[in-house]
Structure 1
């Protein structure tokens, strides 16, 4: 993407504004339950972004107690059918593909002319090993009009969760093209699972005005947007371990952001035709996988 003067000014402004302060104010505004204000916000948002409430489990805009409740609304059970093939890797969200491909020499493509390391994305210590070099990655951008719950691409057992503090730049195409290492600089939540295709990581990337990231097992992780060091939770493999089925909800965003899916080498292939800009929906086939014990 060639950056215009307006694009460059937009990026420069993001370096100057108080990102955390604005995101924390948005967090509070989104949870106000005073009827006149929350009704005004919800109705205007639905009109501007042309939200199809026929897909929602609760189609009545006035039934939502706050903007956040509306924004993270559940869909009808039949709104997003899952690909029935058990070998299919499901798309975890509604959105648009920013980038998709192979992790080459430990690096992922961010935008044309920009790449970044898996090591930095996962918040690893220098030299710390990971299982994704040579594997597959998909970066999916969620716009404000999209469904904002994140679901499992595969059956998985939760191994680890890491909250990595960082900046809160916008994650749209303009910023991705103009801010080096964007996804490794922004605040993010790294969730690592063991699946039938081997290790899998789902990275929930924060952004400006994304006042909350949460998971179904731990609740809200952000805010507060505080601390300088990553915080890590390791989950034991026992009778009480956390297992989630393919298609099951694993987390959600408050306002738009990005999800990055990582898979190991030799066990996943993306479906033909998927490319940057492609619109995708929760439950559709992103690709196929072979069992982790299979060769190839």
Structure 2
């Protein structure tokens, strides 16, 4: 952690995370044409958003900033890895970390880690399948496509909403705040797949107005003091194919993916700092379905 990172991070401890995020939600959902067009233009220009990939490339056509931020892509602009055993990237973004879960510990940044148990809401039974598995953390910047998709075919087993803080999830904060991803508000989706359990963890952050899934809709807000969970019986559980949309961030954040022990390997070169696109092959299963 550098001095500059400390200066960036320390004020976040005293900021009113949730009130600020509620305020941002109101702004990003505003349909005031002057305001929303100006906001969209500034963000698109500053971050270099590629509007040629969007179904609607006219930034003035979006009803609100949030509609722009969660814009749909044109068919075919992302290829989904489709060879047997391929594991697809769930998002556009930058790999923050990727590697092994060692005795339940997940690397956050150099010298910092957190546990799978804490990440998944403190339930040791829920975390047990991932104790010595694999993980990746992918950060979505404001320029990225903000819908999240399935890395593998899966049947939903459980969803958990875990309340928490809303620290930023950028690199400076990840290097500074202990247990960042296990402290922030998050939505956990546990899927049964051909290689066993897979956890998709959608981590909230400052100004992330909401997290939603395709089967439930908006999960947060509301933000509650108590953890909430939903279990899905086998005959009623949503089933999603590799590459299908599973959720989205209304404003940007981070997704963490967990797999079990000896069931997959990451692709060579898939490591911290790598830029990835939705659907590209990032790993390979190691067991037969």
Instruction: Return the TM-score normalized by structure 2.
Output: 0.97
Equivalent residue number for residue 276 of structure 1 = 272
Whole-Å separation in 2 of the counterparts to 1:41 and 1:155: 37
Whole-Å separation in 2 of the counterparts to 1:114 and 1:63: 44
Runs of 4+ with deviation above 6 angstroms: none
Quick check: 1:288 aligned with 2:284? Answer: yes
Equivalent residue number for residue 197 of structure 1 = 195
Equivalent residue number for residue 137 of structure 1 = 135
Structure 1's 95 and 129: CA in aligned 2 closer, same or farther, altered over 3 A?
closer
Equivalent residue number for residue 259 of structure 2 = 263
SS of residue paired to 1:247: coil
Q: Deviations over 1:73-105 (max 9, x none)?
A: 000111111112121100000000000001001
Instruction: Kindly report which structure 2 residues correspond to 1:80-95, keeping only aligned pairs within 5 A, or say none.
Output: 80-95=78-93
Whole-Å separation in 2 of the counterparts to 1:94 and 1:82: 12
SS of residue paired to 1:38: helix
- CA shift at 1:128, angstroms? 6.1
Whole-Å separation in 1 of the counterparts to 2:232 and 2:277: 30
* Preserved CA contact (<8 Å) 1:198 1:292: no
- When the two chains are superposed, the root-mean-square deviation of aligned CA atoms in Å is 1.2
Structure 1 gap ranges (5+): none
- CA shift at 1:34, angstroms? 1.2
Equivalent residue number for residue 28 of structure 2 = 30
Whole-Å separation in 1 of the counterparts to 2:17 and 2:197: 33
Structure 2 gap ranges (5+): none
Q: Deviations over 1:123-165 (max 9, x none)?
A: 0336765201111100000111110000000000000000000
Q: How many residues are aligned here?
A: 289
Whole-Å separation in 1 of the counterparts to 2:125 and 2:197: 19
Q: Deviations over 1:144-198 (max 9, x none)?
A: 1110000000000000000000000000111111100000000000000000111
Quick check: 1:3 aligned with 2:15? Answer: no
